[in-house]
Structure 1
Amino acid sequence: MVKKSFFVCSECGYKSTKWLGRCPECHSWNSFIEEVISTEGKLDFFFPPEKKVSLESVSSVEKKTIERFFTGIDEFDRVCGGILKGQTILLSGDPGIGKSTLAIMIANSMSQFFDKVIYVNGEETNHQLKLKFERLGVSKENIFLFPEINVDEILNQISEEKNIFIIIDSIQTIFTPVFSALPGSLIQIRESTYRIIRWCKQNEVPVLLIGHITKGGEIAGPKVLEHIVDTLFFLDIDIKGNYRILKSLKNRFYRTEEIGLFAMEENGLVGVNEIEFDTFDVEGKSGVAFYIGLEGNRVIPTEIQSLCVPTQFDYPRRISEGLDINRFIMLIAILEKNLRIFLGKNDIYLNITNGLNISDTASDLAIILSIYSNYKDKPLPINFAFLGEVGLSGELRYVKNLQKRINDCNRFGFKNIVIPYSQKEKIKVNEEIKIYPMRFIKQAIEFLFS
């Protein structure tokens, strides 16, 4: 048996005949690992002949109507935008977060559109997986289990099938005998995925790949894996563990701004249309402010809580749950500068109560008002929501999609909204909502606490 070895960059896939300290392609350090390939009688199978192709003018390419298959799982469809034939989807997330549960739910939905749904279970036996199917109430006759991890056998099994949907759980268990590396190694993950994706593209078969993540929160395997798939989803959990959050990190066929919300219940993942929200419990309490968040087309009312107490340390503590700590520190500095107050002798804590992480700068005003409210021990007026990015000079700046946020304020119980002055002429409101345009945070604070 002839064996050849070479070195490959684990970040970008660049190959070299010798070990290199730094990759000349992506400039990563210490990213090269040795890979061994056996060449005896296997290369022809590993690189099967592809369909003949030729040059074709863009204008002469036949235009086809793209059919999208919607699962009926509203939160998944909100993020995915429908599954296309030949689409390759990679779903990753922490162990036990619900990837297989979501995959089974998708298999159940896709069984109505395809003659066969083939579930390649490399991690569990058929009997173990059967228990999950029964728990979720899934028992379709055209869903088939295939407990195989050899990519050659998988492709042999499905090569004669027509109108099928494939799920592979998980891609880290699949291997090709061409390489002597163990399943789960970088080269096995990369080459097995390449083969599956190429076959699915040629035959217009959609495939859902389930992937693991590393301790650092990155997808296990080579970085190139994220580039070769069409769609990359990440199933996350909120800080408090109340919700499963489906995020789209990449999608060649749909927007990536949307998020899907699920709650894990006995019968599987259940879509959450709106996060539970109630302003009653915080009435009359200092340090509480509300803002209207926006994730894609989903409006999310968010309660922000701050606690400002005398410090017992030489350096005051700044602790933030749900907001980038650097932005938190910057907003405190803006508040100190523009209100001429000194917070250096106070520990300041910030909590985003719905458990989500905020990156939306429209929350700046609510965060600053929340801190000031608790510092002065004065509650903000009830039924108020606050929207505005805050500049370093204390000015209120433009809020993206302000009209959409305001349109949903009434159903969340907000009758009064503070917005940037520059946008007062650009929005329309009904008679039940009052708008208070402000230029600076100092002006807003004087109005609210007078």
Structure 2
Amino acid sequence: MAKLKNYFQCEKCGYESAKWLGRCPDCGAWNSFVEEVKDVSRASNISTKANASTPKSITSIKSSEYERYDTGIRELNRVLGGGLVKGSLVLISGDPGIGKSTLLLQTASNIGEKYGKVLYVSGEESEEQIKMRGDRLETTSPNLYVVSETDIDLIKEHIDNIGPSFVIIDSIQTLYNTEIGSAPGSVSQVRACSNELMRTAKGKNIPFFIVAHVTKQGELAGPRVLEHMVDTVLYFEGERTQEFRILRTMKNRFGTTSEIGVFEMRDVGLKEIYNPSEVFLEETNFNQEGSAVIGIMEGTRPLLVEIQALVSETKAAMPRRTAVGIENSRLSLILAVLEKKLRIPFYKYDVYVNVVGGLNIDGTFGDLGLALALVSSATGRAFKLDRMILVGEVGLTSEVRPIAHCEKLVNEGQKMGFKNIVIPYRNLEKIKSEEIKTIGVSSLKEAITKVF
């Protein structure tokens, strides 16, 4: 007879406790404990000797570094590091309705046409629903097999019977293992099913795409161990009401991180955007107060985007600080430098900042553009330089610090037809361009003198 044991487990990190706790002592998360049930008699009988592997010399192991599948989607290949590596587990997440299933169905059809059978396992939709989407997207390859199933043992049987070259799981939160008594989506179920998928992927050298849900805060739902187990983590950004989608690499064992792919959502699916700078600047009106074009690096890709700032006087005791696409901490730092060094009284102004196009900016490439856009809106003056790009990091003493990959940003601006680019003075000596005027600055005051 099975011997069951009740315990409480943190949904964030998997910490186990005999009683419910308000705050997890391991990861510090609040209200994250849920009740689980496990069979302690079965756990003691599990043996791993049958699946044990033997040590091998590293020189005798064949590397799969160059064994990649071409997904047929260039932007997806970019964020994966050049293609889909055999035997890899790729986790993709994003808000509901952002386009995850659409992208995976297009990828499955492309791989099915080139490399053979593909298995699409859906725990949320029926086969008829997937067929309806496939007809709309025109992705009905005869090598694409679809099954609606949530039992992990039956899914493994389907993989053994079909022998696919690529498998999609949509989604991991719907799968369950019959040997575990908890409900699908629980910490125990997600961990166990992820382990089974990882063994299958590595043992049969089959790449897996796994869809994961997100919480209201935009974080991956379920235990953190899921992110550690997979090889690559992709995140879909964007608003459902906007046409542009950003696919960002959060983790990649086979390529660079922070790489992005840009897509446009249309009636027939996701369309790739090969020149994101042109798209992000498509409707930009240059030389407007509070608007600046900045150069940033996303992985290995240089991008030009517009950043807008609105500074409005307020009578409230606590002025508002709203930033979309930029971290609030970075905005607060730039405002503090401007108040201290340039004596601009932002304490009596509401400040709103927005990155056009729905892109979230990481790093310090856009500091100079953000600072000068704020100054432009606060003073009501537009820039005097025509079609100008601003690049540079701003320090706490108002100095403009050098950045990496400045040459790529200058080349991108030159390709997009810009006439002027303001860069840190220490980057100026490495730049040689006759088609775009490069202007070096060493401080915020010097930059304001040259652009206004």
- Other-structure match for 2:395: 391
Report 1:166-177 matches (<5 A). 166-177=167-178
- Other-structure match for 1:448: 451
| Gap regions ≥5 residues in structure 2 | none
CA apart distance, 1:301: 1.4
Q: Which moved more, 1:127-136 or 1:287-296?
A: 287-296
Report 1:135-284 matches (<5 A). 135-238=136-239, 241-275=242-276, 276-278=279-281, 282-284=285-287
Q: Is the 8 A contact 1:79 1:248 kept in 2?
A: yes
- Other-structure match for 2:317: 314
Report 1:295-314 matches (<5 A). 295-314=298-317
Counterpart CA distance in 1 for 2:166 and 2:297 is 33
Counterpart CA distance in 2 for 1:379 and 1:6 is 66
Counterpart CA distance in 2 for 1:338 and 1:40 is 68
Q: Is the 8 A contact 1:97 1:237 kept in 2?
A: yes
Instruction: Specify which of 422, 427, 431 is matched with residue 423 of structure 1.
Output: 427
TM-score by length of 2: 0.90
Q: How many residues align?
A: 446
* RMSD of equivalent CA atoms: 2.6
- Sort the Cα spacing of 1:376 and 1:157 in 2 relative to 1 into closer, same or farther, 3 A: closer
- Other-structure match for 1:436: 439
TM-score by length of 1: 0.91
Counterpart CA distance in 2 for 1:278 and 1:396 is 25
Report 1:76-155 matches (<5 A). 76-81=76-81, 82-155=83-156
Q: Is the 8 A contact 2:185 2:222 kept in 1?
A: yes
CA apart distance, 1:102: 0.9
Counterpart CA distance in 1 for 2:235 and 2:284 is 33
CA apart distance, 1:191: 0.8
- Other-structure match for 1:19: 19
SS in 2 for 1:293: strand
CA apart distance, 1:168: 1.2
Q: Is the 8 A contact 1:384 1:415 kept in 2?
A: yes
Counterpart CA distance in 2 for 1:333 and 1:48 is 58
Instruction: Specify which of 336, 356, 361 is matched with residue 359 of structure 2.
Output: 356
Q: Is the 8 A contact 1:39 1:178 kept in 2?
A: no
CA apart distance, 1:271: 1.1
Q: Is the 8 A contact 2:324 2:353 kept in 1?
A: yes
Identity of aligned residues (%): 39
Q: Is the 8 A contact 1:305 1:352 kept in 2?
A: yes
CA apart distance, 1:426: 1.7
Q: Which moved more, 1:234-243 or 1:253-262?
A: 234-243
SS in 2 for 1:370: helix
| Gap regions ≥5 residues in structure 1 | none
Q: Is the 8 A contact 1:394 1:441 kept in 2?
A: yes
Q: Is the 8 A contact 1:3 1:36 kept in 2?
A: no
Counterpart CA distance in 2 for 1:240 and 1:171 is 26
SS in 1 for 2:69: coil
Q: Which moved more, 1:210-219 or 1:26-35?
A: 26-35
Query: Aligned AA for 2:275?
Result: E
SS in 2 for 1:205: coil
- Sort the Cα spacing of 1:307 and 1:38 in 2 relative to 1 into closer, same or farther, 3 A: closer
Counterpart CA distance in 1 for 2:378 and 2:20 is 56
